Structure 1
């Protein structure tokens, strides 16, 4: 062997030896997870996404054999918490559990955003579908959707409708109802459904839309009335409440879901393992029963299925925002 060939052979061996000594990537078999995983919830403690995150992570910790930490980063219609995830390393140790519709609404209403959900986040899985109900106070002299709309038409601009703020799904539902029926509500923005319900019980507002879990105790006491649900079929938790299509002849209520996302660039192998673990956890009979009793439909999805739903949201919500001239003041 001449000297040049010898040098080339030595160089090749050195590169092979170095490759063997190099640390395995974080997603390699047995390498991930090697430390606790953060789930950022961009809402206050005790809200639906927060409760769901804490329940799901109990099962996820067993499936992936690592600790999970749920961190609440509330504020600015989920922008603060989402920014936290976008700024974190794409290493599979930080995820976002969010109300799916905010990923569509925020880019339409807040400019400039410190991130672009379409480019800076990737979908992992759906967590639970959330059906939203049209609800009225017992003070309103109407017990069904049509009589409620007739009442609002008789009092244009006077019936106070409480929402979680401009751009919230509750506000979007109010705009859909106005567009679909020709009525005019008096918009009263709050920060969240948790503030709207006391306002309804106190008589400051008499209508809103929201998830049945928070509303049901007051419905059972007779303080609030469920008039319609934004779903394709009646729900097991409130089977006597018609869908908005049954009640009004048109689809005038949005519903949403809790969904899990990661920073763009997170290794595909990690995303696949998270998805598989979620599918097992969400299919557990006790979790299914817990969710169903609260008006939720728990279940995992493929990332592409979640992306497709977000695209549907973007078309429908984008049209609504443009046509109704919805803006953040």
Structure 2
């Protein structure tokens, strides 16, 4: 072997560790990222997922592709993400109906609800509104509460299904305000809302962005919102807390999650990206236009919220004896 060959071999040998180090330090993301939405395309969760996917693509310089994996109250999509590598290339756009409610209603789950995921950030909160059919002879939320109390077991309400946030918000209202209404579950938010509009049911919690056009058209009465503060889309509509239902708060909460053991630097970058997005005036307005309030949090803040949200709905489900059919 010539001296030249020896030098070339030595250089190649020394380069291998350096190459491995460079590969290990390849900045994330180096290729497209998939964001799983565990609900059907076209809904409010899907719309919000696509807004954030587009924004993340701009922030990170890589395409963020939305993949819908719907079914079983969102648990099919969650189970898929739980089985993926924790490398930042598969993310989950989740709602509290799955990460805080479903575990108390569906047993056994095919994954460990807390151990299977890294919670990154709360991203948006959607207010629901107390809606009634125009035939109900009330014009304020106080009047409606009194009307229902005077007719125990006579007034029915619709929901998007057993365990949906529209269902549990009504259960929470009945528990807090001393009401007794009859539950009529539907397969999704759209048919549930349509049931009230058609007069099949008398009342339902409906996302504000869905309800307000019907309010303007006279096909629904919107009496109150479920969040602690008034909806930015309807500042004239009071909250249930303002109506005297102390401590009432319910919403559809959307969050960014990933498989368990996501490296802390990636989780931190994603959390920072959420907070950068929701503090940008133009992007905030896009979220508000969808009837949601922008939210951002650290992974630690989200973990605290997740525990409290799960305990809140779990306690309600147990105290009200709510069960999935079958």
TM-score under structure 1 normalisation? 0.89
1:126 pairs with 2:116: no
Which shows bigger deviation, 49-58 or 98-107?
Answer: 98-107
> Residue 248 of structure 1: SS of its match in structure 2?
coil
Match of 2:188 in 1: 192
Match of 1:140 in 2: 136
> Residue 244 of structure 1: SS of its match in structure 2?
coil
> Which residues of structure 1 form unaligned runs of 5+?
1-13
> Residue 118 of structure 1: SS of its match in structure 2?
coil
Match runs of 1:11-50 below 5 Å: 19-22=17-20, 24=22, 28=25, 30-50=26-46
Pairwise CA distance, 1:235: 2.8
Pairwise CA distance, 1:196: 1.0
1:170-211: CA deviation from partner (whole Å, max 9, x where unpaired): 111111122122221110111221121121221111211132
Distance 1:146 1:107 in 2: 34
Pairwise CA distance, 1:226: 1.6
> Residue 245 of structure 1: SS of its match in structure 2?
coil
Which shows bigger deviation, 69-78 or 308-317?
Answer: 308-317
> Residue 96 of structure 1: SS of its match in structure 2?
strand
Distance 1:195 1:43 in 2: 16
2:316 to 304, 312, 320: 320
**C-alpha contact 2:44 2:290 (8 A) present in aligned 1:** no
**C-alpha contact 1:177 1:253 (8 A) present in aligned 2:** no
Q: Give me the CA root mean square deviation.
A: 2.1
Which shows bigger deviation, 170-179 or 277-286?
Answer: 277-286
> Residue 321 of structure 1: SS of its match in structure 2?
helix
> Which residues of structure 2 form unaligned runs of 5+?
1-11
Distance 1:227 1:25 in 2: 58
Pairwise CA distance, 1:312: 1.4
Number of aligned positions between the proteins:
315
TM-score under structure 2 normalisation? 0.90
Which shows bigger deviation, 196-205 or 114-123?
Answer: 196-205
Match of 1:286 in 2: 282
> Residue 238 of structure 2: SS of its match in structure 1?
coil
Match of 1:85 in 2: 81
Pairwise CA distance, 1:253: 4.2
**C-alpha contact 2:31 2:62 (8 A) present in aligned 1:** yes
Pairwise CA distance, 1:25: 5.6
2:198 to 196, 202, 207: 202
